Amino acid sequence: MKIKSIKSYILNCFLLTIPVLVWDIIFTNRLPKEFQSDIFWKDIPTIITYGENIFRTFLFLLLMLIPLTFSTKRQKRGLVIYLVGILFYFISWLVLIYYPNSIWSNSSLGFIAPAFTPLIWLIGIEFIGNTFYFKLPYNRIFLISAIIIFILFHCLHTIIVFYRTR
């Protein structure tokens, strides 16, 4: 009984971020120099740095409180949205890595694509979630708000880097 209970808490929506985190660890050093930590985080306004990191942490913690299940049509659609989002996210990185001098990579939209494409896979996760653990009242607005605020800070950060390095 206890093993099943512990297993149910381990199977949470945070698990869906693991492919992204692994991807980021493996490929960050292959991105153009503007995305390397020493340049990417240099001279970013404190409000944006704190906002981005606080809401990233809040979002990940929130995902840990949401059970990972695929029993409803909405959750299955969420899985498809998540997979499409992951694909777009990975492609946005690959274009920057393999075609750094392309028109796309040097455009503001192409440069910030890795910052806004997580919106797709995160919305997929939002579709998957429909309850919290611990009998907390679930309202989608918590997760949607965390996603939107994090993405806004992340995009602002990346836009600053784009214009500062051009």
Q: List, for residues 86-142, the tens digit of each pLDDT value.
A: 999 999 999 999 999 999 999 999 999 999 999 999 999 999 999 988 777 889 999
Kindly state the average pLDDT of the residues 42-65: 97
Q: What angle do CA 87, 90, 95 make, to 5 degrees?
A: 120
Mean pLDDT of 46-67: 96
The torsion angles phi and psi of 45, rounded to 5 degrees, stand at -55, 140
* C-alpha distance from residue 1 to each of 5, 24, 50 (Å): 6, 37, 41
How far is it, in rounded angstroms, from Cα 77 to Cα 106? 33
- CA nearest neighbour of 143 among 14, 27, 39: 14
Q: Taking all residues of the chain, what is their mean pLDDT, rounded to a whole number?
A: 94
